[in-house]
Amino acid sequence: MATQTRNRHQELGLSDEQMLEIYRYMLLTRRIDERLWLLQRSGKIPFVISAQGQEGAQVGAAYALVRGKDWLAPYYRDLGKVLVMGMTPREVFLAAFAKQGDPSSNGRQMAHHWGHRRWNIISGSSPVATQVLHAVGVALAAKMKGHDIVVMTSLGEGSSNQGDFHEGLNFAGVHKLPCIIHVQNNEYAISVPLKKQLACENVADRAPGYGMPGVVVDGSDVLAVYAAFREAVDRARRGEGPTLIESKCVRLTPHSSDDDDRTYRPREEIERARQRDPITRTRAYLYEVGLLDEEREQALEVEIRREIDEAQEYAEAQPYEPVETAMRHVYKEA
Amino acid sequence: MPVMQYIEAVRETLRSEMRRDPNVFIMGEDVGKRGGVFRATQGLIDEFGEERVIDTPLTESAIVGVGIGAALYGMRPVCEIQFADFIWPAMNQIISEAARFRYRSYGTWFVPMVIRAPYGGGVHGGLYHSQSVEAHFAHSPGLKIVAPSTPGDVAGLLRAAIRDDDPVLFFEHKGLYRAVKGEVPEGDYVIPIGKADVKRDGRDITVFSYGKALHFCLEAAQMVAAEGIDAMVVDLRSLRPLDEETILNAAARTGKVLIVHEDNAFMGIGAEVAALIAEKVLFELDAPILRLCGPEVPAMPYSPPLEKWYMLSPEKVAAKMRELAAF
């Protein structure tokens, strides 16, 4: 009964259209991700590293930023975030196929190493947590210039053991910088479970040591995520400094397409993880508040499938960047 | 033309660039109130404030990584690593990040930053305050590496480094900070990165060097001149890129080449210079290419006799010059 369900998105100041847009981004992320796996398993692309299980955390977080104004230093699972920030499905598939026009790297980097100058998405690398320092540096520069931007960075809970994470939080805390460090805790660092990674209960427990709030939020609850990030964004814009937010997520796939999680992860555990699927949960909410029914859902799925088909076809048809350009952009060109 | 110490040239060039461009700022350990442990940034905090002369926490990776982020946003950070020996925690940020942003983003992201680091020994610094680290970085495309030997070159090259749109490692030999004085041209004096400098012309042998060892070479050239050996001494100044044209011309001029550096020889700068000469002007040579470098031990030992054993000297260079001239 729609009328009896608390309308949580309106309580957060989100319109029905915005709530549907949030779900659309989540679903788009999931369907693109699933398509990438199909392409990888059929030998059309070499590599996938998944966002599945983290769409709520990613879309809810990025939705609290202002597109084109705020900055993102993403990590490899951040498909949901880069879509919200402005990257198109076409651009995602260009990167997946390593084709000319891929805005991240023009086919130079492995897929999922996001970057997009137009949307303030900072190019990333594979060594983990290095991007935390870049986000802090952007925030420092923005503060020096008096710009009221917010910088967000993402990483996994495993990466929160790297020195750069701790150096970055400390620096951001000392200088009260407008950045948000988002740890997407999906309980595994490739094969290593949480209990072998952390001696404390939450990654967010580390925040007080760096003079900032540490917030734990249920990553499968997109509205809870959005609320936490909006508060952190407001805090940052008011000049009150950084926030560490840990979203408790699940990883619904192996680490990457090169991994086989059957060697270390019980199947029952993955079944349990599916109970926390953010897509299922958000979909149920939309049915409850009357924003979605079977007909509208079907229409949405068809629309997204068309968009993905078109993006994949477009990307597949593009040429590779010619080898003659491989020596370009080592240094500034005259 | 004002005459100043090597370290004064560092400081005054930083000052003039910070006055010229509000995007230029300094960060590092003890760079503020203390003015750096060597006093290279002394007084700059008084003129530019603690927002532009930032005393950082003791975190080399963050000094570089945060600098990268600021550079991505359009600032021109000059990051100081207190001793080159302490640069290793920042190695990942320098090699994996700073050096690769432009390439990996097809030119859309780039990192206009300078990393200053005092290097070199002969100052009773032991294993961890004496190292020459340049060869470790020179291997990486995407980086520029500069190692000046005179106050004038410091001024011209540091100015070029700050204005460069790519990351520049600026290595200052700490043994030269107060030991060398020289003329520094006034005003907007820029030396393009990638240009070597013939510090002494000569007809018999060609010696390539940089940093403190360059001064040993000049002294040694005086010593052997009395014996009738006329040595040409070329200051590489820029280690990446190397000034291929000047190097090849200088090698061909005398046909006898000696490469001298304080860093150890194996896979060092001298190996690259020697390979370049062998590849391009082998038939101009009249003798095997010689190297005189630091010994193959992990780093410089501390006690006076051990340090003296490690360090080059004008006498050691002169002996090698004689050996080459006699070939």
Residue pLDDT, tens place only, A109-153: 999 999 999 999 999 999 999 999 999 999 999 999 999 999 999
Q: What is the mean pLDDT of residues B32-48?
A: 97
Residue A320: active-site member: no
Look at residues B167, B73, B82, B130 and name the one whose alpha carbon lies nearest to residue B303: B130
What is the model's pLDDT at position A6?
Answer: 84
Out of A103, A105, A171, the one facing B59 most closely (by C-beta) is A171
Chain B positions with Cβ closer than 8 Å to A: 25, 51-52, 56-57, 59, 61-62, 64-75, 77, 89, 92-93, 96-97, 100-110, 141-142, 144, 164-166
Percent above pLDDT 90 for chain A: 98
Q: Which two tokens stand for residue A144?
A: 């020096």
Domain boundaries, chain A: 2-316
What six digits make up the tokens of B207? 């010696």
Q: Please, are residues A197 and A164 in contact by the beta-carbon 8 Å criterion?
A: no
CA B129 to CA B118: how far, in whole Å? 9
Q: Smallest Cα–Cα separation from B111: which of B164, B41, B167?
A: B167
Average predicted confidence (pLDDT) for chain B: 98
3-state secondary structure chain B: CCEEEHHHHHHHHHHHHHHHCCCEEEEECCCCCCCCCCCCCCCHHHHHCCCCEEECCCCHHHHHHHHHHHHHCCCEEEEECCCHHHCHHHHHHHHHHHCCHHHHCCCCCCCCCEEEEEECCCCCCHHHCCCCCHHHHHCCCCCEEECCCCHHHHHHHHHHHHHCCCCEEEEEEHHHCCCCEEECCCCCCCCCCCCCEEEECCCCEEEEECCHHHHHHHHHHHHHHCCCCCEEEEECCEEECCCHHHHHHHHHHHCCEEEEEEEECCCCHHHHHHHHHHHHHHHHCCCCCEEEEECCCCCCCCCHHHHHHHCCCHHHHHHHHHHHHHC
Contact B59 A170 (CB under 8 A): yes
Domain B3-183 has CATH 3.40.50.970: yes
Percent of chain B with pLDDT over 90: 100
Tell if the CB–CB gap between B75 and A144 is shorter than 8 Å.
Answer: yes
Residue pair B179/B8 in contact by the 8 Å Cβ criterion: no
Asked if ipTM goes beyond 0.90, one says yes
Catalytic residue, chosen from A255, A265, A276, A281, is A255
Give the residue-averaged pLDDT of B190-212: 98
- In the CATH scheme, what is the code of domain B197-326? 3.40.50.920
* Mean of pLDDT values over B212-216: 98
Query: What confidence category does residue A1 fall into, taking pLDDT thresholds of 50, 70 and 90?
Result: very low
- Output the pLDDT for position A4: 62
Q: What is the pLDDT of residue A5?
A: 73
Among candidates A115, A137, A321 on the partner chain, residue whose Cβ is nearest the Cβ of B105: A115
Domains B3-183 and B197-326 share a fold: yes
The token duo for A122 is 């900072």
Q: How confident is the model at residue A334 (pLDDT cuts 50, 70, 90)?
A: confident
What does the pLDDT read at residue A3?
52
Partners of B5 in beta bridges: B181
pLDDT digits (tens, 9 = 90+) for A245-275: 999 999 999 999 999 999 999 999 999 999 9
Question: Shortest CA distance to B79 belongs to which of B33, B28, B30, B12?
Answer: B28
Residue A251 a catalytic site member: yes
For residue range A145-204, what is the model confidence (pLDDT) as tens digits?
Answer: 999 999 999 999 999 999 999 999 999 999 999 999 999 999 999 999 999 999 999 999
Q: How far is CA A5 from CA A264, A278, A290, B120, B302, in A?
A: 40, 18, 9, 71, 75
Q: Which CATH superfamily is domain A2-316 in?
A: Thiamin diphosphate (ThDP)-binding fold, Pyr/PP domains (3.40.50.970)
The verdict on a CB contact (< 8 Å) between B142 and A331 is yes
Report percent pLDDT > 70 for chain A.
99
Q: Is A189 helix (H, G, I), strand (E, B) or coil?
A: strand
Interface of A with B (CB under 8 A): 73, 103-106, 108-109, 113, 115, 117, 122-123, 125, 127, 130, 132-142, 144-145, 163-164, 167-168, 170-171, 174, 321, 328-333
Q: How far apart are CA A94 and CA A47, in angstroms?
A: 13
Q: Confidence class of residue A2 from pLDDT cuts 50, 70 and 90?
A: very low
Domain ranges of chain B: 3-183, 197-326
Torsion of CA A104, A106, A108, A113, to 10 degrees: 20
